[in-house]
Every structure is written in C-alpha cells, then in structure tokens.
C-alpha cells in the first residue's frame, strides 16, 4: 500500500494507524528521545509500509549541525578587485544555507606571493573544516595542499582554475583552453595581416601560473589550426605594479613596431589600458573579467572587449557543491564549465555578473 498524500497528511495517517500523537511520529522521524522502543518500532514499521518520505527541507532542518567550509582564495589587490566577485557568490550561498548550520571560514592569500598561499593553506589545515573551496594559484603548493586534504578525508572543490589528476569533488570555472581560443577567434577578425600580436601575461609566478599559460596555449592553437599568419609574441611581466608594467610594455612595443593588438590573459588588462593612455597609436586591447576597472575602460574605449567567466557564480556553485556532498544530497558534476561571455561597450549595461 502506497501513500500519495502530502507530507503533513502522511504524518497524520501514520499517527492514526499507530494510535499515537503527531508529535510522537515527528520524534520518531527525526530520531529524537522520548519514545519507547516498542512505539518506535511500531511507527517505523508503518513508515516502511507506507513508503513514507518526509519533506527534504524538514529532514535537513532536523539534522542540522555546524558545518564549517574553508574558503581559500586570493584577496583583492590594488591592481584588481576580481576576487571580490566570487566572494559575493560565496556570501549569497552561505546566507541561503545558514539555516542548516553551514558557515565558512576565510583564508585569504596574496595572489603574487607563494609564501602567502602556503601560510593560508597551513591555517586552513589547522582548522576544523568539513570541506574546502579552493582557488589554486601555485601548482606545487596547491598539489601539496590537496594531497593533505585527501589524506584527511576533507572534500574540496576548485574554482577559477583546475589542477589535473586531483580527486576534487568538482571544478567550477572556465574552460581555460577554449577561453584562449575564443579570444583568438575574435582578435583574428580585428587584426590586419601585417599586425603583430602580443600575448601579455602579468604575474609574479609565471612559470607556475597554469591559469594564464593554458589560455595562451588555446590562443596560439587557434591561429595555428586556421593558418593565420600574424606573428604572435609573448610578453611576460613578473611585477604587477603599474610602473613595472609601463617599463616592460614600453620596451616591448618599441622593439615590435608592427604590434597593434594586445591580449592580456587576466583581469589586469585595465593596468595595461592605463599604461597605453599616452601611446601615440590606437591599439586593440583585449583582456578578462567584468570588474569595475575594466568596465570604465570599456566605456572610454581603451579596452576593445573583455571576456567574462562569471566569478560570482563560481563562488556560489562551489559552496553549493560542497553543501550537497556533505548533506548527502547527491554528487556534484565533476566539471562545471562556466559560460564564456564577450562584453563590449555596447552590451555591458545589460550584463549581470
């Protein structure tokens, strides 16, 4: 015999058949004290016979306990406030889940400092955490962290960039290779045959920054596959302050007089835009991320277009993936690629990050 009525009707029917109060049935369903073994067995037998399934929300509320999720992401800097956007998504998710006892502890690190990442990782490992949301920035150090999390049986989710061969619950972010290809496709339509193209990587740890290098690989592959003859040059800038960018970019452009297009592989494209403000030639400048500094540059046309990878949603879905796993609500998708959006001066007013 199957019961198809609503949850409250089902509880009333169980109480009637067992000849007990609704409160007693509720205590049995939620495994609370105050019910004799005999009554508990009788109620459970009726629940099984009716194939009764209590409302999921009520069940979660009944068994809620404090779940502490560690969030290990970069802090905002003077060059970019990109990481404030995933933080908005993280906060939104936690606000929705706090009724179930879900909270977060933040461990911020300096995006340009390996030692800062290591310190934040050690603090996270020393904290009682049930899961970790991680934005990996340094390959070797991130591998060491995930190895220790795996040994401690602490699940983790990657956002923004992935690490290969790691047992993460999920990666939530862009397909970095395809993102680079998309930039190449658009730039190939804008560049003249004689134009040289600079790929500009701005990071203090370039040899380890797979996030940027994977985009460069995708960019170059597109030009190779489509037999486009533009010369592609790489400019690696290892200091992120504007004076260092100005010095190295000026030197590079002076050595490549045919350079007319610059593809900046991260959100620091606005720094390049400021450096180029006094450049005698109008250059095509492309970069990443729908953040305030870049939007202003779109408005004044110092940036031609930007590519957005929905950082707010990355933070939100990352927390939700851990929540579902920790509460036994199903497994998250192993890979959850975010849409890759093209933002221009003409459409940014209608874009919601």
pLDDT at res. 2? 38
pLDDT at res. 105? 96
pLDDT at res. 18? 86
Q: What are phi and psi of 22, to 5 degrees?
A: -60, -35
pLDDT digit string (tens) for the chain, length 353 residues: 333 344 555 677 788 888 888 788 878 887 777 889 889 888 888 887 776 666 555 555 555 567 899 999 998 876 678 899 999 999 999 998 888 889 999 999 988 788 999 999 999 999 999 999 999 888 889 999 999 999 999 999 999 888 877 788 999 999 999 999 999 999 999 999 999 999 999 887 655 567 788 899 999 999 999 999 999 999 999 888 899 999 999 999 999 999 999 999 998 999 999 999 888 888 999 999 998 899 999 999 999 999 998 999 999 999 999 998 988 887 778 899 999 999 999 998 888 76
pLDDT at res. 1? 35
Q: Domain segments of the chain: what residues?
A: 7-62, 67-174+311-339, 176-308
- Asked if 67 and 102 count as a contact pair (C-beta separation under 8 A), the reply is yes
Domain 176-308: CATH class, spelled out: alpha beta
The CATH number assigned to the domain with range 7-62 reads 1.10.260.40
Same topology between domain 67-174+311-339 and domain 176-308: yes
Reply yes or no on domain 67-174+311-339 having CATH 2.60.120.10: no
Distance CA 175, CA 214 (A): 9
- Asked if 43 and 14 count as a contact pair (C-beta separation under 8 A), the reply is yes
pLDDT at res. 79? 67
């Amino acid at each position: 015999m199957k019961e198809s009525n609503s949850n409250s009707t089902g509880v009333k029917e169980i109480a009637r058949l067992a000849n007990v109060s609704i409160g007693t049935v509720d205590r049995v369903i939620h495994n609370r004290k105050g019910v004799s073994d005999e009554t508990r067995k009788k109620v459970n037998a009726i629940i099984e016979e009716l194939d009764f399934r209590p409302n999921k929300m009520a069940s979660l509320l009944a068994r809620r306990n404090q779940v502490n999720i560690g969030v290990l992401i970069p802090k905002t800097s003077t060059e970019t406030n990109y990481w404030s956007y995933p933080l908005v998504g993280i906060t939104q998710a936690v606000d929705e889940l706090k009724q179930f006892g879900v909270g977060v502890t933040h461990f911020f690190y300096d995006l340009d400092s390996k030692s800062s990442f290591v310190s934040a990782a050690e603090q996270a490992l020393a904290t009682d955490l049930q899961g970790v949301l991680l934005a990996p920035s340094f390959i070797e150090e991130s591998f060491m962290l995930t190895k220790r999390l795996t040994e401690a049986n602490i699940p983790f989710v990657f956002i923004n960039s992935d690490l290969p061969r790691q047992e993460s619950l999920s990666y939530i972010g862009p397909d970095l290779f395809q993102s680079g290809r998309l930039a190449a496709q658009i730039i190939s339509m804008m560049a003249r045959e004689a134009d040289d193209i600079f790929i500009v990587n701005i990071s203090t740890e370039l040899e380890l920054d797979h996030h940027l290098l994977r985009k460069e690989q995708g960019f170059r592959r597109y030009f190779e596959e489509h037999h486009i003859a533009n010369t592609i040059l790489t400019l690696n800038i290892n200091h992120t302050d504007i004076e260092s960018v100005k010095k190295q970019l000026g030197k590079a452009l002076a050595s490549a007089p045919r350079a007319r297009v610059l593809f900046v592989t991260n959100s620091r494209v606005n720094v390049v835009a400021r450096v180029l403000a006094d450049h005698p030639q109008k250059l095509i400048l492309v970069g990443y991320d729908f953040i305030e500094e870049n939007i202003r540059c779109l408005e004044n046309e110092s940036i031609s277009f930007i590519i957005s990878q929905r950082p707010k949603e990355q933070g939100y879905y990352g927390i939700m993936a851990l929540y579902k796993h920790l509460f036994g609500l199903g497994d998250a998708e192993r890979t959850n690629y975010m849409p890759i959006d093209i933002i221009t001066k003409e459409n940014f007013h209608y874009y919601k990050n």
